[in-house]
Amino acid sequence: ISALPSSLLDGSLENHLEMGKKLLAAGQLADALSHFHAAIDGDPKNYMAYYRRATVYLAMGKSKSALPDLSKVIELKPDFTSARLQRGNLLLKQGRLDEAESDFKKVLNSNPSDKDEKEAQSRLMKSDEIQKWVTQSRANFDHKDYITAVAHLDLIIETCVWDVSSRELRAECFIQMGEMGKAISDLTAASKLKSDNTQAFYKLSTIYYHLGDHEMSLNEVRECLKLDPDHEQCYSHYKQVKKLNKQIQSAEELIQQQRYGDAVSKYESVIKTEPNVPQYSHHAKERICHCLAQQQDVSRAITVCSEVLQSDPQNVNVLKDRAEAYLLEEQYEEAIKDYETAREHSENDRQIKEGLEKAQRLLKQSKKRDYYKILGVKRTAQKKEIVKAYRKQAQQWHPDNFQDPVEKKKAEKKFIDIAQAKEVLTDPEMRQKFDHGEDPMDPESQQGGHHQNFHSGFQGFNPFSSGQFNFKFNYQ
């Protein structure tokens, strides 16, 4: 009583009952409940106070709380037909068929009103029908006729909406049928309907795990261990899920830090930790593909990405990663194919649009001059490598090395290309333009922009003059 507000303690039993009744009619359920609490505290043997409180609980959707109150009413007043009828209906919804039938029979034997008699008779017939469906559904399940079992269980659950055992059996049927989403729905309901349902949480965790959702699996198995820290199955499963979850999280953190090599190693550990669930191997390879593409390990990236796409040909992320690798490998037509396939499944992806345009420009450019090929370096080459390659090529193709007029003319052309290649690839701005498909040395490609002078790589050479040449190199 001391826990109740002082305003409620002052009222008489009759006042609490009357006020609670008015508040219930007005829909003010919480206030009504407080008055009925006070009435029961004032007189623990007042059956009407329990009945009113049960009515509030039902209006609030708290059937579990209403059931003990209705049982108390029947204990205090066994001939209270309405309370027994209501309890029978709650027991029927919970799938407690024998107890429900007992209540309905007692109503029928108690000289009920026509309305109560009709309802009790109807509910008794329904319960009898459900008993037959229960027997049939279990026989169907035992004979592995899961489709028929589900059909019978659907009929049962339509009336017995809070029946835990029927939902668990239907979930098991769905698991056997491979309909994991429906199994999850039933098991989630079962875990809420039964407060200590560790087995439902364990099954939910294992389903999520085998679907590749390690985070949801971890959440569900933790709920199991909250109920029973010593649950053997849940604890064993928890250790496995936690290890896998930690590895995946660590790998993703490494990717965020652009530590792609370390991330590859971590995802390779994921495959070793769980080799029997394809979803994790698939996810790990998808992310390894991404990491290899980002760190420009082109050959391995293409191999791993292609392996993922064999089983998942519409994976947009992997298509984009492989396309990037193809670009670095200068396989522009292959890159275009991947971007176009990705675009079919993700039309508004800006990265795909930009990548496709870049690949198309580079393909067009590759049919003209390619400064990387002229110097014999990869697109990923650093400035130091480019300068070294330039010096080697410039010495080899220096026109003074050739006496034959035809060969000298060929060397002059080659020497100009080498100089221009060095100028473009050692200037960050010009190189960026070239990498995006624009030739900084081609006036048409410049679209009216400033045309760079290619003589900065060497001094004293006019390729368009005649007579003796005198070359002076500036290897800056």
* DSSP secondary structure letters along 80-91: -HHHHHHHHHHH
Least trusted range by pLDDT, from 15-24, 96-105, 194-203, 306-315: 15-24
Specify whether the CB–CB gap between 297 and 312 falls below 8 A.
no
In a domain, 88, yes or no: no
List helix spans (H) across 60-163.
Answer: 63-76, 81-93, 97-108, 114-142, 146-159
Tell whether 363 and 377 lie within a shared domain: no
Contact 181, 211 (CB under 8 A): no
- For residue 374, which of 425, 410, 428 has the smallest C-alpha distance? 425
Q: What distance in Å separates the CA atoms of residue 1 and residue 10, rounded to the nearest whole number?
A: 11
The more confidently predicted of residues 405 and 187 is 187
9 vs 428, residue with greater confidence: 428
In a domain, 141, yes or no: no
Residues 285 and 200 in one domain: yes
Q: What is the pLDDT of residue 230?
A: 95
If DSSP codes are grouped into helix, strand and coil, which group holds residue 369? coil
Separation of alpha carbons 406 and 358, rounded Å = 38
Residue 39 belongs to a domain: no
Confidence label for 476 from pLDDT (cuts 50, 70 and 90): very low
Element at 458 (helix H, strand E): strand 458-459
- Quote the CA–CA distance of 265 and 242 in Å, as a whole number: 18
What is the predicted pLDDT for the residue at 446?
56
Assign 392 to helix, strand or coil.
Answer: helix
Whether residue 472 is predicted with pLDDT greater than 60 in this model: the reply is: no
In a domain, 259, yes or no: yes
For residue 24, what are the CA distances in angstroms to 5, 30, 32?
19, 9, 6
CATH code where residue 431 lies: 1.10.287.110
What is the rounded CA–CA span in Å between residue 13 and residue 287? 69
pTM higher than the cut 0.75: no
Range of the domain at 403: 371-435
Q: Is the pLDDT at 337 greater than 50, yes or no?
A: yes
- pLDDT averaged over every residue in the chain: 88
334 shares its domain with 406:
no
Positive or negative torsion for Cα 272, 278, 279, 285: positive
Identify the domain boundary among 368, 383, 410: 368
Confidence of residue 475 (pLDDT cuts 50, 70, 90): very low
136 located within any domain: no
Does residue 143 form part of some domain?
A: no
- Mapped onto helix, strand or coil, the DSSP state of residue 473 is strand
257 in the same domain as 219: yes
**Which DSSP category does 370 fall into?**
-
**27-82 pLDDT, tens per residue?**
888 988 998 888 888 889 999 999 999 999 999 988 889 999 999 999 999 999 99
210: CATH: 1.25.40
Q: Looking at residue 203, what is its pLDDT? A: 97
Indicate if the pLDDT at residue 471 is higher than 50. Answer: no
Task: Give the model's confidence band at 444: pLDDT under 50 very low, under 70 low, under 90 confident, else very high.
Answer: low
Structure tokens at 86: 């209501």
- In this prediction, residue 445 has a pLDDT band, given cuts at 50, 70 and 90, of low
Q: Is residue 148 part of a domain?
A: no
Clarify whether residues 326 and 381 are in a common domain.
Answer: no
Is 360 found in the same domain as 323? Answer: yes
Last residue of a domain, one of 264, 289, 314: 289
Same domain? For 243 and 282 the reply is yes
380 and 320 part of one domain: no
- Mean pLDDT, residues 376-400: 91
The SS3 call for residue 459 is strand
The last residue of a domain, from among 260, 289, 318: 289
Chain segment 109-124, per-residue pLDDT in tens: 998 999 999 999 999 9
As a whole number, mean pLDDT of residues 328-338 equals 92
- Lowest mean per-residue pLDDT among 54-68, 126-140, 227-241, 428-442: 428-442
pLDDT of 310 reads: 95
Q: Is residue 228 part of a domain?
A: yes
Closest CA to 135 of 158, 169, 179, 181: 169
Task: Give me the pLDDT at residue 27, please.
Answer: 87
Domain tally, the chain: 3
pLDDT at 434 (0 to 100): 87
Decide: 418 and 397 in contact? Cβ < 8 Å: yes
Structure tokens at 42: 């004032």
Residue 452 has pLDDT above 60, yes or no: no
pLDDT at position 370: 84
Rounded Cα distance between 10 and 16, Å, is 10
- Classify 213 in phi/psi space as left (phi over 0), alpha (psi -120 to 50) or beta: beta
Please name which of 273, 271, 340, 343 lies closest in space to residue 308, comparing C-alpha atoms: 271
Q: Are residues 375 and 364 in the same domain?
A: no
- Same domain for 280 and 217: yes
Q: DSSP readout, 273-314?
A: H--S-HHHHHHHHHHHHHHHHHTT-HHHHHHHHHHHHHH-TT
Same domain assignment for residues 200 and 277: yes
Residue the block writes with tokens 């849940």: 234
pLDDT digits (tens, 9 = 90+) for 145-166: 999 999 999 999 999 999 999 9
Q: Taking residues 15-38, what's their average pLDDT?
A: 87
**Strand pairing report for 472-473 and 458-459:** antiparallel
Least confident span in 7-16, 283-292, 374-383: 7-16
pLDDT at 5 over 60: no
pLDDT given at position 404 = 82
Per-residue pLDDT reduced to its tens digit, 177-190: 999 999 999 999 99
pLDDT score for 9: 44
Domain with residue 363: its CATH number is 1.25.40.10
In this predicted structure, what is the pLDDT of residue 454? 42
